[in-house]
């Protein structure tokens, strides 16, 4: 994977990643702000602002003006909000690169935030919240963040609470944008076939050089005061119980890198593919779940590793026991070198497949640069995965699979909290 780094006059970082022999190009603009940068009073503002970017600019005053141009060339335009970043992108045929650059810069930097559109979009976002409330498979991840992080930005939802969405003002949204949408905390990635583009840096300077050059406000550091296993039950009359169970992990700090790659391999070994332990024990041997998999998350200053599943209601306590027993087996060293090698090979192979295409390349490079201020190529990353050994897996399992970092969040027709408290230990 080839790429170049540049910096515009206002401090905005630029990554150019040529990908030969493809027909597409992706323009991705990333801003280093998200729900973790919000106060409780304006929780959800990052996501609200992302929605409003499509509601009109000076150059394209009507919402349809924005999407129609990309529709006309068969391209893709969208945006997303996370806990630590917000992104806007266009993917198109390489011949339409200049239009893609213009549209992305326009919606991200020059959105007018019209009052009438804010009022309409409140309803859209409230319905989005309602949609996720009716999807326990998605809703349970909010419970997980709540139980792991509590009453701090990391423990709140990206969409925000309904009462905030109903009351947040245009001034609060505008103030947040003016505070956080700054060049030095943002970057733009151009990935794909742009070999025919001339003076691309001059075009980027013209379009993205208009972004303010001040300093954005930093997020609050994530606090961790957990001393014992924690549990959160979300009662709902569902036909299936959805749960996340696991442990606190590590973040993206440089000193945590060795543990991070070991945990990535360990996550695969436990539940990253169909022959992994969770899938075999719960679905294949017992038939108690349709989906079950591991998750390994790394944010800038926190992380987690665990299992997520949708299971038979009456088998929930037993499934939790089985999952915890698999964690304990690993902690006790009951795994083979072959399992570790399979997990490493799977990580490398699946990552290579996932990196096909211009949009995947843009995301891979952009998020690393934004969150870590450095970029590992896939080859460099794979070398670090290959270096993970059996002793590394033993070390991180003993370090992180501990009761003081154990958490369980679930949604289903369960009200007996004590029944789960009795088994929530390793």
Cα–Cα nearest to 334, from 343, 345, 325, 321 = 325
Cα–Cα nearest to 141, from 157, 127, 125, 153 = 157
Using a 10 angstrom Cβ sphere, with 0-12 exposed, 13-18 middle and 19 or more buried, the burial of residue 109 is buried
User: For 73, which DSSP code?
Assistant: T
Strand, helix or coil at 90?
Answer: strand
Secondary structure percentages of the chain, helix, strand, coil, to 5: 50, 20, 30
CB distance 26 to 190 below 8 Å? yes
CA angle 376, 378, 382 (to 5 degrees): 100
CB distance 309 to 289 below 8 Å? yes
Catalytic residue among 20, 38, 50, 255: 50
Q: How far is residue 102's CA from residue 189's CA, in Å, rounded to a whole number?
A: 14
Cα–Cα nearest to 46, from 90, 89, 83, 88 = 83
Tokens of 349: 């192979």
CB distance 343 to 384 below 8 Å? no
Q: How far is residue 287's CA from residue 315's CA, in Å, rounded to a whole number?
A: 11
Residues 6 or more apart in contact with residue 202 via CB below 8 angstroms: none
Residue in the structure block whose two tokens are 């505070």: 179
Dmax over Cα atoms in the chain, in whole Å?
A: 66
Beta bridge partners of 380: none
Tokens of 355: 């990196």
Tokens of 256: 């945590």
Chain centre distance of CA 241: 24
Residue in the structure block whose two tokens are 């070999």: 195
50 is catalytic: yes
Q: How many CB atoms lie within 10 A of CB 31?
A: 26
Cα–Cα nearest to 322, from 370, 271, 373, 360 = 271
Cα–Cα nearest to 108, from 38, 168, 54, 173 = 54
Catalytic residues: 50
């Amino acid at each position: 994977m080839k790429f170049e780094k540049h910096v515009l006059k206002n401090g905005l970082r630029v990554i150019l990643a040529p990908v030969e022999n493809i027909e597409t190009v992706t323009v991705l603009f990333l801003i280093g702000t998200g729900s973790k940068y919000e106060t409780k009073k304006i929780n959800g503002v990052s996501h609200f602002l992302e929605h409003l970017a499509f509601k009109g600019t000076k150059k394209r005053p009507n919402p349809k003006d924005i999407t129609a141009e990309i529709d006309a060339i068969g391209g893709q335009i969208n945006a997303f909000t996370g806990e630590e970043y917000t992104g806007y992108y266009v993917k198109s045929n390489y011949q339409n690169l200049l239009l893609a650059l213009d549209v992305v810069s326009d919606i991200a930097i020059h959105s007018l935030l019209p009052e009438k559109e804010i009022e309409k979009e409140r309803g859209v976002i409230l319905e989005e919240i309602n949609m996720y409330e009716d999807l326990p498979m998605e809703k349970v991840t909010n419970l997980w963040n709540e139980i792991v992080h509590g009453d701090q930005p990391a423990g709140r939802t990206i969409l925000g609470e309904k009462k905030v969405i109903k009351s947040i003002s245009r001034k609060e949204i505008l103030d947040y944008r003016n505070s956080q949408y700054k060049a030095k905390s943002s970057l733009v990635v151009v990935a794909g076939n742009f070999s025919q583009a001339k003076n691309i840096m001059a075009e980027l300077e013209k379009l993205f050089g208009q972004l303010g050059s001040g300093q954005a406000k930093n997020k609050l550091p994530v606090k961790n005061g957990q001393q014992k296993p924690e549990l959160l039950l979300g009662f709902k009359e569902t036909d299936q119980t959805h749960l996340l169970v696991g442990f606190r992990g590590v973040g993206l700090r440089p000193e945590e890198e060795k543990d991070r790659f070991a945990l990535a391999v360990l996550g695969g070994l436990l539940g990253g593919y169909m022959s992994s332990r969770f899938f075999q024990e719960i679905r294949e041997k017992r038939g108690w779940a349709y989906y079950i998999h591991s998750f390994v998350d790394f944010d800038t200053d926190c992380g987690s590793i665990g299992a997520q599943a949708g299971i038979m209601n009456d088998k929930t306590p037993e499934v939790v026991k089985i999952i915890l027993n698999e964690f304990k087996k690993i902690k006790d060293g009951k795994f083979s070198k072959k399992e570790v090698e399979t997990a490493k090979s799977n990580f490398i192979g699946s990552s290579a497949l996932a990196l096909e295409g211009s949009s995947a390349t843009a995301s891979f490079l952009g998020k690393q640069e934004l969150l870590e201020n450095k970029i590992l190529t896939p080859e460099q990353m794979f070398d670090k995965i290959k270096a993970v050994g059996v002793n590394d897996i033993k070390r991180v399992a003993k370090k992180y699979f501990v009761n003081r970092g154990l958490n369980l969040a679930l949604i289903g027709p369960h009200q007996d909290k004590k029944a789960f408290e009795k088994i929530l230990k390793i």
